[in-house]
Structures are given as C-alpha cells and as structure tokens.
Amino acid sequence: MAQNMIKIKLIGSVICCPEAQKKIVRSLQLRKMNRVVERPDTPAFRGMVLKVPHLLAIVKE
C-alpha cells in the first residue's frame, strides 16, 4: 500500500528566525528558497509545517 505524500515548499528566509525555527526547516532538508521536498503525510510532518507557517507551505498538486 502506497503512503500518502505531501509536498512542502520553503517560501520564507530563515536568516533572522530563532534557532528553533531554523532547526525545523533544516530537519525537513530544505536549504534554499522555493525548494520543494516530498514527505509522508503524517501528523508529525503536518505539525512541523504548522509551527512555521510563515516559512513553509504545503503545495497543492
């Protein structure tokens, strides 16, 4: 059975953000602006996106 995936895009810069927010973005392996990664659609990944909504967005297909 295939697992549902979500696409997460880095839409904001982490330059002046607190270290905790930088760690969230780095843990998703997002390094550059406008990059998109695909991760499993689990409550953990959804929660990470909700912690920094000004930096991350879920891309609709």
- Match domain 5-59 to its CATH number in 3.30.70.260, 4.10.91.20, 3.30.1390.20, 3.40.1160.10: 3.30.1390.20
pLDDT tens for each residue of 11-36: 999 999 999 999 999 999 999 999 99
Q: Specify the long-range contacts of residues 47-51, CB closer than 8 Å, at least 24 apart.
A: 48/24, 49/8, 51/21, 51/24
Query: Structural domain boundaries of the chain?
Result: 5-59
Cα separation, 11 vs 31, whole angstroms: 11
pTM, entire model: 0.88
| pLDDT score, position 30 | 96
